[in-house]
Each structure stands twice: as C-alpha cells, then as structure tokens.
Chain A
Amino acid sequence: MGSLVQVLTNGILLGSMYGIAAIGLSLIFGTMRIIFIAQGTMIVLFAYLVYWSFQKAGIDPYLSLLTVVPLAFVLGLGLFYLLFRKAAALEDRNVSLLLAVGLMYLIDNLILKAWSATPRGLNISYSSAMIVVWGLRVSWLRLALLGLALASAFVVYAFLKKTRVGTAVRAASEDMEATTIQGINSVWVSAISFAIGIALAGVAGVGMATVYSFDYQFGFVFAIKALVALALGGIGNVFGALAGGLLLGIIENLAAYYVGIAWIEIASYGVFMLVLIFLPQGLFGRRALVKKV
C-alpha cells in the first residue's frame, strides 16, 4: 500500500511536466489549430540552455527561469511572425504541421551539432535532497516540478480570464473571424497565444533540465506525450490540460510498477487511443472541438 502511494506521488510529480507542455499545446492548438509537434523539441532546447548556463556560468536552473522564459516568449513571437503567421491563416492544415516538423528536424539536429548525442542531466547540489512526509520520500526537485506546473496553470488561467487580451484569446479560439469582426487584431492575438505556448516550453525546459536525462531526440516523444495529456484533459481548459498531464504521469508510473518499464509507452498511447475514440472531449474539456460525424 505504501509503495502504491509512492508510485502515485511520483506519477503526479513527473506528470506535472506533461501538464505544463499540454497547457502550451492547448493554447497553440486552441487558437491556430496548429498541431505543434515541435513543442517537445522546444522544451529540450530550453533544457539545454538551462543546462549550459549552469555548466558554464553556474547559474541555478531555477534562477534561469528569469532569463529562459522571457527569451522563450520572444522566440515564440519571432517564430510566429516568421513561420506560422501565414500558415495559420491557410485552410490547409498540412502546411502548419509540416512547418512544425521542419522546425523540429532543424532544432533537433542543431542541438545534436552543438551538444552531441550524449544524454545530459544536471547534477545540482540539491539534486538528491529529499523530504519525507508520512513515510513518503519525495525529492525536492520533483516537488518543485509540481509547483512550476501549478504556478504556470494559475498564471495562464488568470491571463485568460482577467485580461482583455486573454478574453480575446478565448474568443479567437472559438471563432477567429468573429474575433476579427470586433476590430480585434487576430494576428496579434494568435502571436500572443503562440508566444505564451513557447514560454511555457521554457518553464518545462527548466523542469526537464533539473529532473530528466535528455538528448536531442527526446523532443518528438515528449511532444506526443503532451498531446496525450491534452487529449486526456480536454482542450479549452487550462486546469484540464494540467490534470491530463498528472493523470498521464500516474498511468505511466502505474504501468511501470505493475507491468514493466517496457510497457509504459503502450499504456500511454493505448489510453490516448481510447480517449480519442470514446471520450473525444477529454475528461475535463469544456467542449469537444471536433464535431461528431
């Protein structure tokens, strides 16, 4: 029993990474309907930046949140205006999908050239620090992941609910043309959602650098995991996406514990398929974005 609780706890803590990534994907998919398959690659890129600034300059990963997240936001704006602005306006979904694929190939292999194929992972002074609560052993760093995820979710939620631009983002994710008709610059609204999505990849990058061992190929699988989390939680709901991530973490850890590590992937993709087929609006989705036939 004790070990089951431990498994669940680990699942929640690791799943919070999927949660952050899924919130970002949700913003990008929600407004532009772009399947941003490069999200995982962006996270890995930022993880390398965090890793690098720690190795070279000794900057604490959590301190580099202050630089990486704004950098990611600006990079997101740049990528949007350079690559996705025109594609987002096209009816043809292949174009934006392939743009994301191209970006993924490009950045994955730039990472390979810059940092080689050796998997990296940070070893900070407090990497192994643990707290023990009611017999549960929890690493501080993993606990911090959950903190990052919750903080991200609250910030994004407040942005969407309380700000004018946030309201416009929600409007645009429902009906882009009607948003334009209100005199709202829908290109800018898309740019903001895209940039926030990439900024969240920056947050997730910090988390990845501190807890995971990562390499240049890690991004694709991670992006699909985020997509699974998003499908589980449901699109159009920040906390739903977060919950989807946590749930995916739990499912993976349960699968590893009861069936074996080799079957983690089958469990998560199996759940993905089942959710898509039987529960397309997800567990907490406000609405099904895809109409039934």
Chain B
Amino acid sequence: MGGIERIESADVRLVAGTKGLNKRKLIWAGLGVLAVVFFGTLPFYYDVHNGQYGVFFFNVFVYAIVAQGWNLIGGYTGQISLGQNAFFGIGAYTMALLWFNDVTKTGYYFDPVLMIASAVAPAIVAVLVGLPLLSRLRGDYFAFGTLGMGMIVTVLFINGGYFTGGAEGRMLVSKMPPDVVFNLRTHYWVAFLVAVLVTLVVYFLTSSRVGLALKAIREDEVAAASHGVNVLKYKVIAFAVGASTAGVAGSIYGYYLLQVTPSNVLTQNWLFYPILMVVLGGTGTILGPWVGAFLIYLLSWYGDQYFTGYSPILSGVVIILVMLFLPSGIMGLGQKVPDWGKRVRGSG
C-alpha cells in the first residue's frame, strides 16, 4: 500500500496544572483567613458605629450574602433567577412581622429564631414556586417565572392590608428592647458572620458531589440527567438555598432599617445589583460575589457622594460598561492563566 501517506502526528502534551493547584489553594485560604481576621476584628480598633466605613462594609456584607446566594443558582447551576428581591423581601418581612407581633415573646434584638425563620420562609416559597417552574421548563422561562413570582410577592405585600402594613410597611423602632442601644457594631458583626458562613456553605456545597451535579446541570442538562443526576432535585436545592440566603440578608437589613416597607426591601435594586455583582466578580466563582459586592457598592457609595442625584444614571453606565468590557468578570480574568492555552497552541 504505497499510496497511503502516514501523516506525522504531533505528540499531545497535556498540561495538567494540578501541581501548582494545592499551593495556590493554600495561598488563597491564607489570604481568606487574613481577611476574615481583619474584618472580624475591625470594630476593635475602628469605630464602625460613627465612622462612615462601618455602614459601608455592613452594606457590602449584606450585598455579598445576596450575591453569594444568587451565585449558587445563577452562577453554579446556570438558572437565571429574577426573584431574588422577593426572597430578600420575604426574609425582611418574616422578621418584621414576627417581631412586630411578638410571636416569639423573647423580645431579643437579632433574635436567632427570627433570623432562622427568615431563612426558612423564602426557602419554602422557593420550593413551592421552584418545583413547578423547574420541573417543566428550563432556561429563559425559569427567569420569566421567577420575575413573575417577584412581582406577585411585591403586590401581595403592598396589598396585605393590616397584616403587612401596606405601602407603609412595618415600623420596628418601638419594638427595640429598652435596654439595647442601637449600635452598628452588632449589625456589622452579624452581617459579616453570616456573609462568611454563607460563603463557606456555598464553598463546601459546590466542592462536594452536589457542586459537581450543579455544574453538570449548567454545562449540559440532558447529559447530566442521563448520568443519573436528579436534575430537578439539585436545581430546587440550589434555588432554595439561594432564596434562604437572600432571606437572611433581608432580615439583617430589616434590623438595620428598623422599618420594612415594599419600597426599601422589594425594589429592583435587590434584584439586579446582586446579579451585577456576581457577573462583575466572576460567575460561578466563590470570591466573585465578594469582589463584585465591594466594587459595585464602592461605586454607588462614591457616586452618591460626588454625583448626588446622578447616581442611578452612573449605575446604568457602569452596568453597561462592565457588560461590554468585562463580561466574564474579574475572577474570570484571573483564571485565564496565560501560559495555559497559548503554550498548547504554539506546540506541534
């Protein structure tokens, strides 16, 4: 068979990259611990109550919690939920209504029972709404459905009459225990603690078998199902966990505002900003939501100070610019280690 030409084939070099991974992981973990220690002890040497950065970081933490929750369903699982503001609002209202009516009779400020209830209530709603939406459809219709749910929840709270306080919502100032002084230090710590906890939960969830299933669903749902992944179960779990984190954040924010109204806990901001933060930081990365929450809140913080009244316009411009020039996010930039693809490309 003289006619057959055997074509010289290049040897395929596999760049595994596992070697440096543990070291890199260790560095990240170290940096993480340092950051936790720094922010955890900040109130000891900085007056977070009177200093302006206390409020700043409190807000960043609250946003980071919501963003981390959205990251689980939107980032890791690839199901765009547009109902995060509803869960945030349900959490805030759960806390506010239970506290307002003294259901637990404890009278605590930052009552752990109320905060747990604020996490459970949105999760229940998420399961009830998520089961029919996620079992029948995928993709954009899930986004539409969660958007519709958010609108319904908002209208229900506005129309709730005496139960929810209608458009005025619920004032909670009078419910403050008389011996407790409003000090942002508490809010700062609670928000920080919860944000770190949520991050750890998302981290361990996504590094476990659950995370593998979620990523499989994101990449190829049909293939995931054919490998025995219970697609519906994992989607609903991710949706419910994401909902309950938003709910806890809502309750913390309610404790800060001491007034829970539709216009401050159910607005579009609690819907779109967390998504923006995740995408800016890096979708489906554990640090992305933190980076995004910090940067976006920083921008709106200084936007409010220096461009008073023009801040929303600025937000619009920032969102557009980020999406045009950084669609894969900041963490996405870091992960494209340049020697990876290029060395392979040049070889052969």
Physical contact A–B (CB less than 8 Å): yes
Q: In chain A, residues 96-115, which have Cβ atoms closer than 8 Å to a Cβ of chain B?
A: 96-99, 101-110, 112-113
Shortest CB-to-CB span from A271 to chain B, Å, is 9
Given contacts A272-B144, A293-B135, contact A101 B319 (CB under 8 A): yes
Minimum CB distance partner of A29 in chain B: B140
Whether A266 contacts B156 by the Cβ 8 Å rule is yes
Contact of B320 among A29, A102, A289 (CB under 8 A): A102
Minimum CB distance partner of A270 in chain B: B152
Whether A108 contacts B312 by the Cβ 8 Å rule is yes
Query: Complex: how many Å from CA A270 to CA B155?
Result: 11
- Tell me which residues across on chain B come within 8 A of A103, comparing CB atoms: 316, 320
Contact of B276 among A98, A112, A270 (CB under 8 A): A98
Contact of A105 among B134, B225, B315 (CB under 8 A): B315
Whether B317 contacts A106 by the Cβ 8 Å rule is yes
Is A277 on the interface with B (CB-CB < 8 A)? yes
- Tell me which residues across on chain B come within 8 A of A270, comparing CB atoms: 152
Minimum CB distance partner of B138 in chain A: A293
How many residues of B sit at the interface, in one of the four size bands?
35 or more
Is B41 on the interface with A (CB-CB < 8 A)? no
Number of interface residues of A (CB under 8 A): 49
Whether B80 contacts A276 by the Cβ 8 Å rule is no
- Tell me which residues across on chain B come within 8 A of A280, comparing CB atoms: 136-137, 141
Contact of B319 among A98, A107, A228 (CB under 8 A): A98
Mask: chain B, 49-93; 1 = CB below 8 Å from A; 0 = not: 000000000000000000000000010000010000000000000
Minimum CB distance partner of B166 in chain A: A262
Whether A263 contacts B144 by the Cβ 8 Å rule is no
Is A124 on the interface with B (CB-CB < 8 A)? no
Is A159 on the interface with B (CB-CB < 8 A)? no
Minimum CB distance partner of B225 in chain A: A293
Contact of A106 among B156, B313, B324, B328 (CB under 8 A): B313
Whether B268 contacts A220 by the Cβ 8 Å rule is yes
Whether B148 contacts A292 by the Cβ 8 Å rule is no
Whether A106 contacts B151 by the Cβ 8 Å rule is no
Shortest CB-to-CB span from A102 to chain B, Å, is 3
Contact of A269 among B155, B158, B313, B320 (CB under 8 A): B155
- Tell me which residues across on chain B come within 8 A of A35, comparing CB atoms: 140, 143-144
- Tell me which residues across on chain B come within 8 A of A102, comparing CB atoms: 315-320, 323
Chain B contacts to A: CB under 8 angstroms: 74, 80, 132-141, 143-145, 147-149, 151-152, 155-156, 158-159, 221, 225, 231-232, 268, 272, 275-276, 279, 283, 309-310, 312-313, 315-320, 322-324, 327-328
Write 15 A-B pairs (CB below 8 A) sorted by A numbering: A98-B272, A101-B275, A102-B323, A106-B313, A106-B316, A109-B312, A227-B144, A228-B148, A262-B158, A262-B159, A265-B155, A269-B151, A273-B148, A280-B136, A293-B134
Q: Which 3 A-B pairs have the closest CB atoms?
A: A106-B316, A102-B319, A105-B316
